Chain A
Amino acid sequence: MKYLLFILIAFSTVSAWTQDATEIIRKTDEKARGVESSQGLMRMTIVRPSWSREIEIKSWSKGRDYSLMLITAPARDQGMAFLKRDKEIWNWQPSIDRAIKLPPSMMMQSWMGSDFTNDDLVRESSIVVDYTHELLGSEIIEGMDCYKIQLNPKPEAPVVWGKVITWIEKKELLQLKTEFYDEDEYLVNTMYGKNVRMLGGRLLPNRLEMVPAEEEGKMTVVEQLDLAFDDPISENFFSIQNMKRVR
């Protein structure tokens, strides 16, 4: 899913430095991944006018190259796992005792029926490398002083957005609001960072709401229930064997 990066970043923070836009984004990106590693538990709720569905995910990651995700709810999908090593991704289905290698085109698939796709697990386009950054100024969001930064995709970048505007709180570098525009500069989604509290030893918004523009009653909510940064995880943790064993 095209939003996961932004969600990861919103869950991160950096101590306050005065810096240019690229530097703010770069530091945020580094910290978002916990530099070395992170692990956590999150709940994603897909909200539509007449229904909602919840998915709970345990996750482990190391840098950009390795990640492991375990579905802990709903009951139907419990135990299913996803392993990413560099550019490759596998899906473990415990009911049939089978690890399935996913093709690259599958990465664009809606992940577990949500607004997430597998793409974020594999391609992980970089908001540092794939965009140029422009500091537009300062604005107050939710009573907090924020940098307003515009991200413009570089010509060759594998990015679906025409531009992205994000508001990052200056003192703790909290990503409080992000607008995603299509190539016609038309607003598609707005992501809000809410419920700021300590997570994994850092002050972070622990609730993110992704709200599609002009589609009343629809949103995807991601709540971080648990998070830890930089507990050492070996590269060997991200193995086919462990994908079948994590719990």
Chain B
Amino acid sequence: MIRATCAGIFLVLLPAVLLQAQDDKPKNWLLNGYAKQLQTVVAIDGFDEYLIDNLLHNRLNFKYYPDDHWTFTAELRNRIFYGDLVKLTPNYASQIEEANNDFMDLSWHWVAHDDWVINSTIDRIYVEYTSGKLETRIGRQRINWGISTVWNPNDLFNAFSFTDFDYEERPGSDAFRIRYYTGNTSSLEFAINAGSTWNSRVAAALFKWNTAQYDFQLLTGMANGEFVIGGGWAGNIKDSGFKGEWSYFLADDGGKNSFAITGAIDHLFGNSLYLNFGYLYNSNGTTSGSLSELFFFELSAKNLYPFRHALFILNSYPVTPLLNVSLAWIYSPVSSHPLFVNPTLTYSIAQNWDLDLVGQLAFSQDGDTYSSPVKALFLRFKMSF
């Protein structure tokens, strides 16, 4: 019922708004998006052949602002999956939805065959009312409380797949959020997401302020049945950026408390080389095991990486204004020495056309061998409009 209503709103509003645009009034709507083709080649130890998969992906972002107070937002992603992994995975269609934080079901499988799947998902649909410094927003939205660069223990409302670089927008939360800007660089907000029980619900408040050229934030609330407090900062040491975040989760009835803290320093050198160096401590992380699970690992603010300690290094360099190369490393100093390596090459083909070549390797020690049992290579074309 809810999803039918939302879809109805979307379909009814869109043509009405487009028609209105023919008047002489200033444009009060926005429609943009992209189309992407992602080709994946995966090599898994033990398989003789590569797995080759394809994802054809279209995203539509729509905004309608009838006046200065009201904004209506709807964003839709349409995806066609086909290839070896789709064939090999029983019930691939149902897997697509696992990474979502949905309460409302706004996902449709138009086709769910064994060898191909067509899915449409509305991952943003909300109404916002603004009155002066007060903003109220209800619906499926991205509540991004992260302030640091790589890991975000303060990002309570979202869970997503670590290796899914293709979903920059990340899933939304079905939530209510109210925010008051206490100043030009400070705000106080409260948000609660829809959940059937307190164990599947997040309700928290966040205060952000700026002092001595640092942004600071503090948060507290209940996250999936646990009391949480956290904080973060973004500032600089001399010319380098210095950012970090921490969260402490208090388990009820004698369960294990969780603590995560991360810090990062980033710097852009005169020759345009960008370097980001970071560290994460995750009390829920293991000190053993291999890294292959990273490809199937769903993270949350409480568990941002499978291991207790993680060091992150990102190098990035624009070879020309059109070509950027980057290399990210994540190493954990535990017995299996897990190392995640992520090279990326980004090329601007034309004004609105981009090409990305991305590799993902996950090395770890298994007996005498140090290898990456899963290797993935991605080729992506993107056309923005």
A residues whose Cβ falls under 8 Å from a Cβ of B: 46, 48, 51, 53-54, 74-76, 78, 85, 87-88, 95-98, 100-106, 108-110, 113-114, 235-236, 238-241, 245, 247
Q: Is B198 an interface position by the 8 A CB rule?
A: no
Residues of B within 8 A of A238 (CB): 184
Instruction: Tell me which residues across on chain B come within 8 A of A109, comparing CB atoms.
Output: 268, 272, 274
A245 & B146 in contact (Cβ 8 Å cutoff): no
Q: Does B121 contact A (CB under 8 A)?
A: no
Compute how far the CA of A40 lies from the CA of B322 in the bound complex, rounded to whole angstroms: 27
**A85 contact set on B, CB distance < 8 A:** 184-185
Give the residue name and chain of the B residue nearest to A244 (CB).
B135
Q: Considering the complex of A and B, which 7 residue pairs feature the smallest CB-CB distances, nearest first?
A: A103-B241, A239-B184, A75-B384, A76-B384, A105-B239, A101-B234, A97-B142
Residues of B contacting A95 with CB < 8 Å? 168-169
Residue of A nearest to B135 (CB): A241
B46 interfacial by beta-carbon distance below 8 Å: no
CB pair A76 B354 closer than 8 Å: yes
- Minimum CB–CB distance for A35 against chain B, Å: 22
Cα separation A74 to B384 with both chains bound (whole Å): 8
B:338-356 near A, CB below 8 Å = 348, 350-352, 354
For A114, give its contact among B135, B242, B321 (CB under 8 Å).
B321
Which residue of chain B lies nearest to A104 when distances are taken between CB atoms in the complex? B239
Q: Which residues of B contact A98 (CB under 8 A)?
A: 144, 146
Cα A88 to Cα B266 with chains together (Å): 16
The answer to whether A103 touches B321, judged by C-beta atoms less than 8 angstroms apart, is no
Q: Is B133 an interface residue (CB 8 A)?
A: yes
| Interface-central residue, B184, B240, B242, B266, by most chain A CB under 10 Å | B184
Q: B381 near A: Cβ within 8 Å?
A: no
Q: Which residues of A sit under 8 angstroms from B187, Cβ to Cβ?
A: 240-241
Q: Chain A contacts of B116 at CB under 8 A?
A: none
- Which A residues are CB-close (under 8 A) to B272? 109-110
User: Residues of B contacting A101 with CB < 8 Å?
Assistant: 147, 215, 234-235, 241, 243
Q: Bound state CA distance, A76 and B133, in angstroms?
A: 29
Distance (whole angstroms) from the CB of B278 to the closest CB of chain A: 13
Quick one: which of B26-70 are within 8 Å of A by CB? 30, 32, 34, 65
Least Cβ–Cβ distance between A243 and chain B, in angstroms: 10
Q: Contact check: which of B30, B146, B240, B321 meets A105 at CB < 8 Å? A: B240
Q: Other CB < 8 Å A-B pairs besides A96-B170, A109-B268, 17 of them?
A: A88-B210, A96-B142, A97-B141, A97-B143, A98-B144, A101-B241, A103-B236, A109-B272, A110-B321, A113-B318, A238-B184, A240-B181, A240-B184, A240-B185, A241-B187, A245-B130, A247-B30
Task: Give Cα A26 to B130, complex, Å.
Answer: 42
CA distance A127 to B31 in the complex (A): 42
Tell me if B213 counts as interface (CB < 8 A to partner A): yes
CB atoms of B144 and A74 under 8 A apart = no
Give B209 Cβ to nearest chain A Cβ, in Å. 11
Q: Name the residue on A nearest B183 (C-beta).
A: A239
Q: A100 CA to B268 CA in the complex, in Å?
A: 15
Closest to B322 in A: A51
5 contacts between A and B (CB under 8 A): A48-B321, A96-B144, A97-B142, A101-B234, A114-B321
Contacts of B243 in A (CB 8 A): 101
Q: Which residues of A contact B234 (CB under 8 A)?
A: 100-101
Please state if B133 and A241 are interface contacts (CB–CB under 8 Å).
yes
Given A87-B213, A239-B184, CB of A105 within 8 Å of CB of B267: yes
Residue of chain A at shortest CB distance from B243: A101
Give the distance in Å from the alpha carbon of A2 to the alpha carbon of B1 in the complex: 57
Give the residues in chain B near A103, CB-CB below 8 Å. Answer: 236, 239-242, 266-268
B110 at the interface (CB under 8 A from A): no
